[in-house]
Amino acid sequence: MDLLIESVTLLDLDTGELHGGSSVRVEGDRIVETARGRTLAGNDEILRVDAGDRVLLPGFIDAHVHAAFTTMNLSELWTRPPSRRAIETKNILEAMLRRGFTTVRDAGGLDKGISESIDAGLINGPRVFRSGRVLSQTGGHGDGPSTGEPLCACHIKTSDFSHVADGVDAVRRAAREELKNGAHQIKVMAGGGVASPTDPIDMVQYTGEEIRAAVTEASARRTYVLAHAYIPEAIIQAVEAGVRSIEHGNLIDESAARVMAEHDCFLVPTLATYDAIARLGKQFNFPPESLRKLNDVLEDGAKAIEIAVAAGVSIGFGTDLLGEAHDRQSREFELRAAVQSPLDVLRSATITNAELIGKAGELGVVAPGAFADLLLVDGNPLEDVAVLGGQGDRLDLIVRGGEVIQNRLHRV
């Protein structure tokens, strides 16, 4: 059924202006008409919703999720039966949608069957842009504990989460494999990480040639590479090799930020995950060595955003939460608002992320021709981003692709 939302306060994310008494008309999965300060006509069969002057936003985009990481207890995660993990992943994705995240970019580990289940309507979750298995060097952030098995002659070791691939040819093969299996983009581990207990944070991973091989393969499929990296050396190498976004980037400096800006490379901070691990990690058996490494990056996330903004880097929005911490997804809004204006945070989660994933004009906007991903908020997020917090408690209407997911309002 087509949809007409009346009496909305429309937020223009470009200017930050609010336009009361507005309306939006939806046909199928797309917005077909918007009107500032006036009511649109609709036939008798259309579903009409009176917004009661609530603020209308485009659906949010989280550019860094791990929906298949269903527990923070990483030693237990991959021993759980795949069927259990699939059901847990379904629940995690559906909860994301109820928080207003109508689109997510999975940054590693999500099975092709999950995205197919969303497309088939078996999972009522957000649309997903899937990275598939991440690419990691031996001893890198995507390399799990050694099993004692001999190395494969092809120089690739595969798990549910990663391809451990060493050398240009192996990286090229691994990237091609994921793209063949439907990955929307490729992720490489370009530096040390927190969750992996054996590689230090200040480690540079992969060579520029290896990263460039992945970029070349992604470009051939008209897509891109995102890179996990914290330190300036790892960031600069990955950016100069052609990656489209740097994930995390907590230890960035001015020189690395300048390189990112020169190459139009996005930064996707993920403050919520460090906050959550610091609060919950010990309780849920996060690796002790990883908890020690957390201290190396915990206090630098906000500073990294300030450095990147000053250099003119486009700032996306991600959360990177694991398992029991997924319900803190909306906390990213509040953490980011400590260093950015609420309007800039909203832009990151909408317009900027849409550009990052190659869907500018289709996602992250309320405009004719865009997907009808819409949120009605009880409150003004420009005055208090906390109205976006919790589990979507103040989202009275959620629409994804023209489908009404949640409606707490009366139809007219």
| 222-269 residue pLDDT tens | 999 999 999 999 999 999 999 999 999 999 999 999 999 999 999 999
User: How many angstroms separate the CA atoms of 1 and 72, rounded?
Assistant: 41
- CATH 2.30.40.10 domain position(s) in the chain: 3-59+364-407
Contact (Cβ atoms closer than 8 angstroms) between residue 356 and residue 245: yes
**Is residue 412 very low, low, confident or very high in pLDDT (cuts 50, 70, 90)?**
very low
The answer to whether residues 243 and 227 touch, using CB atoms and an 8 Å cutoff, is yes
Instruction: Tell me the per-residue pLDDT of 159-192, one tens digit each, with 9 for 90 and over.
Output: 888 999 999 999 999 999 999 999 999 999 999 9
Helix (H, G, I), strand (E, B) or coil at 312: coil
Grade residue 149 by pLDDT with cuts at 50, 70 and 90.
low
pLDDT at 274: 94
What is the second-level CATH architecture of the domain 60-356? Alpha-Beta Barrel (3.20)
pLDDT bracket for residue 288 (50, 70, 90):
confident
CA distance 161 to 133: 5
Per-residue tokens: 149:
């098995």
Whether 335 and 271 have beta carbons less than 8 Å apart is answered as: yes
88-118 b/e with 16+ CB inside 10 Å = b? bbbebbebbbbbbbbbbbbbbbbbeebbebb
Do residues 31 and 339 touch, judged by C-beta distance below 8 A? no
Structure tokens at 354: 């849409």
> With 60 as the cut, is the pLDDT of residue 411 above it?
no
Average pLDDT of the chain is: 94
pLDDT > 70: percent of the chain: 97
Q: Return the percentage of the chain with pLDDT > 90, whole number.
A: 84
What stretch of H or E contains 262? helix 254-262
Residue 327 DSSP label: G
Q: Are 292 and 269 in contact (CB under 8 A)?
A: no
In the beta sheet, which residues pair with residue 165?
A: 156
pLDDT of residue 154: 56
Q: CATH 3.20.20.140 occupies which residues in the chain?
A: 60-356
Give the helix ranges, DSSP H, for 132-207. Answer: 168-180
* Mean pLDDT of the region 386-395: 96
pLDDT range class, residue 313, cuts 50, 70, 90: very high
Q: Is a pLDDT exceeding 50 seen at residue 136?
A: yes
- The answer to whether the CB of 216 falls within 8 A of the CB of 223 is no
Residue pair 205/238 in contact (Cβ under 8 Å)? The answer is: no
Mean pLDDT throughout 200-223? 97
The phi and psi torsions of 388 (rounded to 5 degrees) equal -95, 0
Per-residue pLDDT of 71-120, as tens digits, reads 999 889 989 999 999 999 999 999 999 999 999 999 999 999 999 999 99
Half-sphere exposure of 381 (CA within 13 A, CB side): 33
Number of helices (H) and strands (E) in the chain: give both, helices first: 13, 18
Per DSSP, the three-state class of 200 is coil
Determine which of 151-155, 234-238, 299-303, 353-357 has the lowest per-residue pLDDT on average.
Answer: 151-155
Lowest mean pLDDT among 123-137, 201-215, 286-300: 286-300
- Homologous superfamily (CATH) of 3-59+364-407 is Urease, subunit C, domain 1 (2.30.40.10)
> What pLDDT is recorded for position 43?
79
